Structure 1
Amino acid sequence: MTSDPDTQTAHGGGETGSPKGKRLLFLLPMLIFLVVAGYFAWGLLSDRDPSEVPSALIDKPVPQFDLSPVEGLDTPGLKTADLTDANGPVLLNVWASWCVPCRAEHPVLMRLAERDDVTLYGVNYKDEPADARQFINNLGNPFTRIGADRSGRTGIELGVYGVPETYVIGPSGKIRYKHTGPIDAKALNENILPLLQRLSG
């Protein structure tokens, strides 16, 4: 049995061809463009630091993890208790040998490691042990402990967006600050070091 085109139209099949429907189809791309443009304008014009990515874990305890050391390195592995049992605040840096910004950041970490008031721990993220060893052996080891997060599970629990990322962890074992991307002089002098000093006091 064949259907009658006129009957289909009578039941609403021709609704999209109405002037109102055409106007909506014309305006929809423009509305989407305005929303996206507004979002990018807010990001460019606001005073916020793009490296300060909000984290749901701020002021919450560090997630529980127990990571083995990087195979072949003398540096011991890392677990949550190492961070929470520290005498003062610590820095937790998530890094990888395949990460170009990590290589650019590394001299900053080496200088931080020379300070008596900074303890630096590392999580080696989704890396091959041989590559991680070569990275440390060539550039130096600023870390008191390094945990090998081969699967990336600990990174997920920490809310890692992408390496490098650095967390300031207070004496109580709570995450107090998160910096996404390589640490630069501005972040170090305006955010990280002042917070470490406040938490130490």
Structure 2
Amino acid sequence: MFLPPVIFVALAALFFFGVGRDDRDALPSMLIGKPAPTLAVEPLDGQIFGDAVLRQGEVTLVNFWASWCGPCRDEHPLLAALAGDGVAIYGVNYKDKPANALRFLDQLGNPYEGIAADPAGRTAIEWGVYGVPETFVLDGQGRVVLRHPGPLTQAVIETSLRPAMERAAAAE
């Protein structure tokens, strides 16, 4: 007789405490500390960057994004601000139509030093991308220091991204 209410309270408690958790770390990257995978990307409007640019001796961000991605639109002003601060950001457009991707950049501005397209999503698979947006911090040797799944926020930039960039710069 008392068992159903006890089970209900236990499940309600699990749900209540589980909803408030930030499980971004539950999807860890196997790439941390390892060289970034090879880029198998295509040009986007004649622009492309390759593996050498990711190993040019400076801390670099690689941002996977798409025009159809609402959170990508939300984080875009923060990427522009980082670029304005001199952060090297390279964008990989994920499973998108080139015309839509270029329209997105025309409307919101282009914070990327280089952009490329991953129309089939093969590069994203190699990088362990679960969905867009995702941002990676690479050290000057092209090793992955941080993977951040989901949109960047000011809090994420201050508590996670910038400290990872500082660690990456100190390791060089």
* Shorter-chain TM-score tier: 0.7 to 0.9
Q: Give me the identity figure in percent.
A: 44
Shift of 1:66: 3.8
Q: Encode CA deviations 1:172-191: one digit per residue, 9 max, x unaligned.
A: 21111111111011110011
Q: 1:168 to 1:42 in 2, by over 3 A?
A: farther
Ranges in structure 1 where 5+ consecutive residues have no aligned partner? 1-29
Q: Encode CA deviations 1:91-110: one digit per residue, 9 max, x unaligned.
A: 00000000011001100001
Find the counterpart in structure 1 of residue 96 from structure 2: 127
Shift of 1:88: 1.4
Match of 2:145 among 173, 176, 187: 176
Cα contact 2:57–2:139 (8 A) shared by 1: no
- Partners of 2:82 and 2:20 lie apart in 1 by 32
Question: Computing the radius of gyration over CA atoms, which structure comes out larger, 1 or 2?
Answer: 1
Shift of 1:165: 0.3
Q: 1:177 to 1:41 in 2, by over 3 A?
A: farther
The structure showing larger relative contact order (alpha-carbon pairs under 8 Å, at least 6 residues apart) is: 2
Secondary structure in structure 2 of the residue aligned to 1:198: helix
- Partners of 2:40 and 2:53 lie apart in 1 by 10
1:1-201 pair list within 5 angstroms:
43-44=18-19, 49-52=22-25, 53-71=27-45, 76-84=47-55, 86-116=56-86, 118-201=87-170
Q: 1:80 to 1:42 in 2, by over 3 A?
A: farther
Q: Encode CA deviations 1:26-47: one digit per residue, 9 max, x unaligned.
A: xxxx9xx97xx85x6674465x
When the two structures are aligned, how many residues end up with a matched partner? 160
How well do the aligned residues superpose, as a CA RMSD in angstroms?
2.0
Secondary structure in structure 2 of the residue aligned to 1:160: coil
Secondary structure in structure 2 of the residue aligned to 1:67: coil
TM-score by length of 1: 0.73
Which aligned segments of 4 or more residues in structure 1 are displaced greater than 3 angstroms?
A: 40-46
TM-score by length of 2: 0.84
- Partners of 2:40 and 2:20 lie apart in 1 by 42
Secondary structure in structure 1 of the residue aligned to 2:24: coil
